[in-house]
Chains A and B, each alone.
Chain A
Amino acid sequence: MKKLFRHIALGLILVGIMASSCVKDEYSLQNMKTPEWDPNFAAPLINSRLTFWDILNDFDTTDIVIEDETQFLYLVYNSTAFSQTAEDLISIPDQNASASHNFSTGTIAVADSFVTTLVYTYNFNFPSSQVIDSIYLKSGSLNLSINSNFNLPAKIELKLPGTKQGQPFKETVYMNTPTGNQSIGLNNTKLIFNHSGGNNKLEMTFRVVLYGNGNPNQSPYNINISNSFYNVKFKAIYGYLGQLNFAMNEDTVKVKLYDNHFNGIINWQDPRYYLTATNYLGVPVQLTIDLLETKSTRPPFNTYQIVGAGIPNPWNILYPSFSQMGQGVKTLMYLDKNNSNIDAAYDIAPQQMNALISAVTNSSGPTQNFVFDTSRFTLDAKVELPLHGTAHNFTIVDTMDVNIGEDFKNSEYIDWILFKIYAENGFPIDAEIQIYFLDSGYNIVDSLLAPPQQLIHAATPGPAPDYIVTGKYKKMITTTIYNDRIAEYHRIKYAVVKAKMHTFNSGTQIVKIYSYYDLHVKIGAQVQMNFN
């Protein structure tokens, strides 16, 4: 038994010693090294199939890419050179005139009256030798200012040739004093002019009635009526509108494709220019194209005048007949390489195509015209560039605000960044693309592809006349940016993208671009972090 308890005691002592929790090592975390942590993350960034629409990316409602039934693409740039309504073109000046009348009466008994009539022919003053038969007014006023020596109450009735609100024009002015003013509204008024003894005459008839009221007869009586047509706006005019000169500004069609052009040329096989006049005025219009040119507004500055048989000078614009009243009639001028030198004009990589045009109405003499206030004359210009031709060293440069410097403030944690860039090109175009990163002073901080590598190789075009590509060209490049370069990225404010393009076979092969061509781009990034 004693032996047993001795064993138990020893065992308990042993357990007790162990249970005192021996501390083997002691670590001061004050002296702890930062744990080694250098994760490597990779992710896809971009995966896009870019069509020509996407790549161009600057079209809006005035310049678009269109395709024909074969899906062949055209670049189309539009501009409206001139667009004005008849109301903009024709204005009716304010008119002023006065008529006087002297007369005598006998004694006018109470409840009796005396009537006399004044007929006055108003010479309406229209500009540009216009001969107006009738005019429909939508607003304006006829202001009467009457002075007399009447000591009796009076009534003055005015009649004009024409209608107001569909009824014969007749207005009445009551006078209880010798003087008075009256403003007569002219909305919905038709005035009919006569041309006997001169043009644009309006016969005004004033019927003056004096009422006896017991006052003595103070004959001779006199009355002076000043009348003015003020702020008159027309709804329609019929007659001869004379020779109006339109003040057309220089028309400019902006060819945005060349906005960022830096170097090189595109030889367009079939550039086209359309000028379309749409005439709602019942008036013959003649245009004179004083100048038609392409213009490069970036160095090297250049202009190229377009000439050729396709440019009619003068250019008579069709107009609607009376039976076509309310309709617009179009007249088209079309230029291509067959009737002009427009193909050569586009070799200067122009940013603009300018037209200087003047216009005159009724250039052949008086005709019977009509216009409504809303009748419009419009001149639209369109440049159409079928994507058919060659390009050599065609270089575009675009600068963008990127301001990614803030994102690289902690770049010390980045060992390197690897980019994998894959391009599967369905366009028959080679492209050498480089992205330069600039600081606020436009100094180059770095470039993405160092050394430069050609990523995009042209797909091989098929035979004429369609030149459809026979396959796509695939290429992947990788580029690694190490910490010593990344450390400078906090300075980056701008990125300049420079792309130099040639059509197939160094720009010697004619190609066509179709809407189903695309460029499949995949970009992935791998970042080696280092938090040690």
Chain B
Amino acid sequence: MATKEVNPDIQRIDPATGEYRVIAPGQTFRGVTEKITRIVLTPHTPLGWFAIFGVGGAGATMLMVALVWLFLKGVGIWAISQPVAWGFAIINFVWWIGIGHAGTLISAILLLFKQGWRNSINRFAEAMTIFAVVCAAMFPLIHLGRPWLGYWVFPLPLTMQVWPQWRSPLMWDVFAVSTYATISVVFWYLGMIPDLATMRDRAQTKLSQYIYGMLAVGWRGSVRHWARYETASLLLAGLATPLVLSVHTVISFDFAVAVLPGWHTTIFPPYFVAGAIYSGFAMVLSLAIPLRKFYHLENLVTERHIDNCGKVMLATGFIVAYGYGMEAFMAWYSADHWEAFTFWNRAFGPMGWSYWVLITCNLAIPLTTLWSRRLRNNMLYMFILSIVVNTGMWFERFVIIVTSLTRDFLPSSWGTYYATRWDYMTYFGTVGLFIFLFLLFVRFLPMIPMSEIRTMLPGAKIKPKVAAEAGD
């Protein structure tokens, strides 16, 4: 019996602090700095980078072709018509912006909760957020039909003297998404300034010294500056937290405020936010697992990070499951004829297959297997699972938009929806654009926040005696 009482966690605990290890032992300030700056400052770009960059570039080119044709011909090249006027554009918009949410959750909410493990992954998770918002924000604009009039959504003093309608959730969306994009960029850039200063000081060529020097705005690490910087970071985290919750809430209002069966429900805001974080963490894993392997960052992005992301997915996955369950329950409990029909049609109607894809990818596979630590520590499994979950989350939006719109109150307005090749090209094109932008980020900016990693190293600990005297 005695042998069974040995704690299997003993290897994972740092003897110096008695806390769980987040990064591998034996790291130094200089070692970490060199490891991370070398990825960017080396003149040798790995061949694999070019290969994936080529794939992303091809996707981005395909997007450009699809957009040029769209601007020439109009939105008729897509499958949207009556009754499905939203189609792929809005599915992709909601999907992309949801993916972005995990980046803000990691950088803001986990900072407020003092989760030290976020430090290794927050920079590229924030980059993921920004690029996902870039992909997302494109869709409502190109869906406009006359995208050159997109500026009409802003309250501008135009000669027509026509002003926006403030009671519409679509108008709220404009402000939620634009604020989200701005604050994400500001938070990301502010967090990067000390690291850009490190890059400036370690750059060898004149050009990179100039560029990183300009970007670092003359940061020199004064402790007065650090004190203000820490305050500003904390405040931005505190502001980004209600922001990220509000963004997907407002997006869910686009649906919930409509009277359509299957949309008109109060569960949508929390269910959308949880789904967003669920898919976002899946995307973090899709990026983190290859990155740590190709760039040999296993000591900084450890199995513990992947494990924790898996746990967050498990928790948010169950909230999503609750959302699905509540939709089914309300369809029965409301005793509303149309509501019940919509639910039945979702699961067993002509588009029923998409509902079961969603149930399989979002609930059946992840929520049964993520309990196992062995599987959470299996990188290949987690990578595949992250793709599965993101597929499932895409189908969730497909189900919400398409099945509700194809079966309206009046059978005479029923229809169907088959996406055209331009829909698929635009969708996969934005995936390409995302990869393209992300690889540029990995090549030219420090993808792991060095200054935050330094605070976690043993050398950063100040002896309690010194700290106590300093408090006087």
Q: Do A and B come from one complex?
A: no
B residues with CB within 8 A of A: none
